[in-house]
Amino acid sequence: MKVAYVLKRYPRYSETFIVNEILAHEAAGLDVDIFSLRLPEETSFQDAISRVRSQVTYLQARRARLSEFWETIGEASETIPDLFPKLEYAKAERPELVLQAAWLAREVRLRGITHLHAHFGTEATVVARLASHFAEIPYTFTAHAKDIFHEYVVHEEMERKLADAASVVTVSDYNVEFLRGEYGEAASGVRRIYNGLDLEGFSYSEPRERVPRIVSIGRLVEKKGFPILVEACKVLADRGRTFECRIIGGGLLEEDLKTRIHELGLESVVEMSGPLPQSEVKGEIRAAAAFAAPCVESSDGDRDGLPTVLLEAMALGTPCVSTDVTGIPEVVRDGETGLMVRQKDPTALADAIERLMDDPGLRVRLAGNARAVIEDDFDVKRNAAKLRKVFGAKRLAEVPREGVSA
């Protein structure tokens, strides 16, 4: 088996879960090629990127050569002789994606690739779906969050992707139920496999002795709920609490958040640090009494699936407080593995953070239970092995049920 990963843009700073997955495949001996539709935009990346051995091919040039569309299709047809009649299958798709898919199919044939897997049910899955048809090999994809819930999702397009895939993986039971409810029979092949962590890199530290520090990490976008955390910090400050809060990450809301912190007079307790390397992020998490993930459903319908950084905090031993959004309650079980509050409720968030700062015994109990859940359900080696079984199935009926929700 030789698998091609099809990604919209590779690498991306925030998509460590994809890198973890590829590294686990490589460690198990799977032959992987990576195809990226676009060049990376960022200039710094997580350290794990350097450990990926797989060849990366950028299809950006094919996307830019629309003026030479038929010439490129003709060149690809030298490897796929029946490509021209197969183009009927692609009539509803954008020409630049058809071009990239044709070139990907050519590479599939030349390299002996046997399976295509895309992450996110967006452009990468369009290209994988078309290339699968052109090259006559199966494809699968992992659906996450924005690609499922955002208002830009076109029902008919997603239905085609789901129906044509050999199987579809998603990252929570919530997502499975949503997709099956929304798409019916087309989504019958959806299975849940959680994103995984390399637990060797996340050693547990008991949180009994922690200073009153809150840490929160993620892209500064609406669905992460950082404005709610800032408001919760105001509640804590008004109660006379001594604490500090650090928000790590970059994004569109950075200036708005800084402005709000200034308006509330919180500059001395709330710090925005920008993105940090994962090694530093781990240190920040280990030093905190509470990790806050105040996720919300955004105004455009987008929401988090199951934030990887929340799993990382649970693995490291920092007690977590989060919200009742999508798949989060599957891992943050209120009073057992963390504390759960209503989304968009700063006072409830402040109350939960205050409990964690004040009660070392509670921190230890929640963190210990959380680590056990991460070890049971989120070990990347085991979860990547489940995914390889999905890759190896030739038909939907052959997709293994073990470790994958039905």
pLDDT in tens, 64-103: 677 788 988 999 999 999 999 999 999 989 999 999 999 9
pLDDT digits (tens, 9 = 90+) for 263-307: 999 999 999 999 988 889 999 999 999 999 999 999 999 999 899
Same domain, yes or no, for 173 and 208?
no
Q: Residue 212: inside a domain, yes or no?
A: yes
Q: How far apart are CA 109 and CA 271, in angstroms?
A: 52
Please check whether residue 73 is in contact with residue 142, taking contact to mean a CB–CB distance below 8 angstroms. Answer: no
Task: Let me know whether 132 and 241 are in one domain.
Answer: no
Domain match, 348 and 386 both: no
Mean pLDDT over each residue of the chain, to the nearest integer = 93
- Rg (alpha carbons) of the chain, rounded to whole number: 22
Of 406 and 257, which is predicted with more confidence?
A: 257
Residue type (1 letter), 206: E
Percent of the chain with pLDDT over 90: 87
Domain count, the chain: 2
Q: What pLDDT score was predicted for residue 399?
A: 44
Cα 2 to Cα 28, 115, 183, 325: the distances in Å are 13, 6, 30, 36
pLDDT band at 242 (very low <50, low <70, confident <90, very high): very high
> Do 264 and 348 belong together in one domain?
yes
- Looking at residues 304-325, what average pLDDT do you find? 96
Q: Is 244 exposed, middle or buried (0-12, 13-18, 19+ CB in 10 A)?
A: middle
The mean per-residue pLDDT over the stretch 342-360 comes to 98
d(CA 344, CA 322) in angstroms, rounded, equals 11
Contact yes or no for 323/341 (Cβ under 8 A): yes
- Before 11, cis peptide (omega within 30)? yes
> Do 31 and 170 have their domain in common?
yes
User: Would you state the torsion angle of the CA atoms of residues 9, 14, 17, 21, taken in this order, to the nearest 10 degrees?
Assistant: 40
Q: Locate 67 and state its tokens.
A: 């003026």
Task: Dig out the tokens for 117 from the structure.
Answer: 């897997």
pLDDT value at position 400? 46
Residue 233 domain flag? yes
- Under 8 Å between Cβ of 300 and 151: yes
Residue 153 has pLDDT above 60, yes or no: yes
The structure tokens listed for 129 are 């779906």
Residues 225, 77: one domain? no
Q: At what angle do helices 308-316 and 278-287 cross, to 10 degrees?
A: 60
pLDDT of residue 397: 44
**pLDDT computed for residue 401 by the predictor:** 43
Q: Are residues 159 and 265 in the same domain?
A: no
Regarding whether 77 and 34 lie in a shared domain, the answer is yes
DSSP single-letter state for residue 405: B
Expressed as residue numbers, the domain containing 367 is: 199-377
In this structure, are 235 and 365 located in the same domain?
Answer: yes
Return d(Cα 322, Cα 349) in angstroms, integer: 8
Res 404 pLDDT > 50: no
pLDDT tens-digit series, residues 245-255: 999 999 999 99
In 69-212, the DSSP E strands lie at 115-119, 139-143, 167-170, 190-192
Distance CA(299)–CA(222), nearest Å, equals 8
Residue 406, in any domain of the structure:
no
* CATH of residue 344: 3.40.50.2000
Domain-located, residue 55? yes
Domain match, 170 and 312 both? no
pLDDT at position 392 is 86
Residue 405 resides in a domain? no
Report pLDDT digits (tens) over 18-58. Answer: 999 999 999 999 999 999 999 988 766 777 888 999 999 99
| pLDDT for residue 305 | 86
Q: Which of 44-53, 88-97, 137-146, 394-403 is least confident?
A: 394-403
Per-residue confidence (pLDDT) for residue 44, from 0 to 100: 67
356 and 218 housed in the same domain: yes
Q: Determine, yes or no, domain membership for 403.
A: no
Whether residue 404 lies inside any domain: the answer is no
pLDDT at 61: 75
Which percentage of the chain shows pLDDT scores above 70?
95
141 domain-assigned: yes
Whether residue 192 sits in one domain with residue 53: yes
